[in-house]
Structure 1
Amino acid sequence: MAVFDKLKLNKQLIRSATELGYTTPKEIQQKTLTRIIGGQDIIAIAPEGSGKTTTYVLGTLNRFNYAPEGVPKVLILVPEKEDVLAVIELFDRLNKNKSISIVGLYVTPGTEAQLDALADGADIVVATPDRARAIYLKLGLNLNKMELLIIDDADRMIKKGMQLPIAELANSITKAQHLVFTDVMHSRLEKMIAPFMKLPATIEIEALDETSHLTTHQQLLYNVPNFATKLNLLNLFMYDEEVFTKSLVFVNNSATAEKVFQSLNRRMHDAVGYLNPKFFDVKGFKSADEFKADTEARVMLVVNENNETIELNGIPFLIHFDLPQDKDQYISRVINTNTGADDETLALTFATDLELSEVKKIEQATGNKMELSTLPDDLVIVNDPKSRTEPAKKPAKVTEPETGAAFHEKKAANSKTYNFSSGQKAKMNKKKKHG
């Protein structure tokens, strides 16, 4: 059994950890602490509750084997005020060297108190990126002697649009070790950290809950850049009338449902409708059984916010255009209750980079990973002019496919090596007999 004294921590810190019940290091600590202490840049990818915060707090405190100078040597960036306070609390619990000064920076009326705290001397600064940048620009935060930059919950900060202050702070530090902790890694995060990471070691902890392994339908994940590309992908699938005979499409709200309906309705007409629509001038169904009995209908839109119970047996495709806010709502749909029969239902999930953390939470809860599927070769990838990690580009005039010449060959950078396998395609084709 691994113990903390094997991880190059100083004896005082080991005693503090042991007193708090940290007798056996978690997997992420076993795989990262010696590298952190050795000075290597680290990208640690692990789910919530895996011990990421404790890992970098231990690694940070281990640096202070001397009398602190009162000049910031460590900057820890976290998403919100509550995170700042939680990290400082953990430092207080583990730190026996009370000469170490820790200052928190977060958005609050006025900056005078935080500027005064920094002026009195700070060895470790825990901050939200926006407040740290604001105080740095006021010349209140000294980055000249910074030795360690830690970015925690990096995926959450991407969601909150904090790329710019993080990049500015990182670029203002001339030489330091960099640690990035995140639930998931994706292209937006990679673009943010690539300029300042130096040959980082990437360490990923899966941590699926095998004790709650659920029997689910086969789940396929399509990672797309934005909403418009989701629409293109859905339309592309619906072009295949032989395979996509009956599909439920789940969206989070009525506004999204209307956009999806209008996009599909241009070509599919009476083949697409709503479950219990709010208006009488659109095609609707009172139940999944009514949808299955309609020989013309191929797509039924379901709004997640209505939280309706649906009988899903016999529906070939369950397509989550959006992931519901409650992961249990998703899980209830993909559980396979027909374990004694051949399962011919596929659950397809469309997720942007910003939704991948929700995918991770679902995978942890079910004990199953979603199979990452390559995007079809003839899918139009729409450039996202709103992306904060690259210069704005003029949006394409046509973001939805049109009959006849809807899809063009993708650029080499977007090309993929496979779509559905021949065996999977054959399995999917059996669904033609539905209804």
Structure 2
Amino acid sequence: MTTSFAELGVPSSVTRVLTSQGIDTPFEVQLATIPDGLAGRDICGRAPTGSGKTIAFGIPLIVRTESSDPKAPSALVLAPTRELAEQIADELRPLARAQQLWVLAAYGGTNINRQIEQLKKGVDVLVACPGRLHDLLERKALTLGSVRSVVIDEADRMADMGFLPEVRRILDLTPSDRQTLLFSATLDKDVAALTRDYQSDPVRHEVGAKAPDIHRLRHHFWNVDRAQRIDVAVNLIRRAGKTLVFTRTRHGADRAAKQLRRGGIEAVVIHGARSQNQRDRALSQFTEGQALVLVATDVAARGIHIDDIECVLHFDPPDDGKGYVHRSGRTARAGATGSVVCFVDKAQRKAAKHLQRQVGIEIQLTEPDMASFGNELPIATDTRTINEPSGRQQQRARQSPNPTRGQSKPKGKGARGNRKPQAQNARQRNGQQRQGTGSSKGKPHKGKPAARNKSKAHGSARPQSRSKKRQGTNRKRAATQRQR
């Protein structure tokens, strides 16, 4: 018999929001954690990304949170990356509106002054990255003394990124009797220490496998020279469909995306050097199908929920087996299957074998085999985005000479091509007028050419002046001779 959210103790105001979103049946992690969360228990949960844990901690967080005073939020959610923080906030906002609560997402790359102003007006639930929250605390934009509930999401990722010392400092500023909900893909080492030091008698729930089941995926290790990578990638993506491409560096991600677009594949890019608006736009275009490819560094390997990824392409192999699992897990979400392709050049063969041993797979290194991916698929992206030239290209096209000189251009869009000849004629006429008037008000464009033009316009002036000087000199000489 299926259990409903109402049977878990979720208020009707929240269940109506869930039903409007098509969420009727709780997932496993939600069944396990929501009752304890609503009861006020501390929770230590292990659940893979994409298992529904945002709703699992979001419902107790929203239901138990009360309206806050300015600069004193009642609930705090800590997330390791900007994208995850924004995704959590987006999922919490509809639930919060049902309870008349206000949610704010605060992370780097966005306007901190605007966040300070919102905190002054009053924020009930603050979703933040540790770095931005530290900046807000330094500016005394808020206090954490009124926080009654704290969520630490992707705690293992926090540890990997070196955020745990900052997380500890933040937790030390909150009341000791708060409720603390901690979720992580693993619960050992640093995460276990965090649980020991900052949770009170937590109930432990573990859902799903400890790591993505990559054995369910189809793995391909292809021998591809660096010069051939783009051509092989274009051929692969046209057959595989929606693809997440990983590169080692930011520069490599930008370059790969640009080269893929030249190959007719609409690709967007995300990495740490992109502005938040650029990152949000890229994720939106990829999620909504406007772009077929998302090129990313490892910033996107964890904590981002993107459905229906058909293929993960390791354009650059990861550093180790853990990175391979995290990257490849993007196409193994919620029991889904998919394909993983890793490009390996001659210098990387030994490292690739070592990576396979770390992961626990044994895949033969082969030449690219497109037959296993079937025929080319119709590209479902917006052809206007692919074929429409950039603003700079359009500008160049308008400024280029008319390829059919001597023929009159039709009216309408083609009439734009006549702008440059008209401008040239106007400049020529203006130049002739300046030369004819001999006005001294305007500055010449270049000194020497202007002087030559002026002498032509007054061609009789210099010969006359030279003749007068010669006559004067001759007179002086004649007078001197007479005196002698």
Query: What's the TM-score, normalizing by structure 1?
Result: 0.49
Structure having the higher Rg: 2
The answer to which structure has the higher helix fraction is: 2
Higher relative contact order (CA 8 A, sep 6+): 1
Query: What's the TM-score, normalizing by structure 2?
Result: 0.44
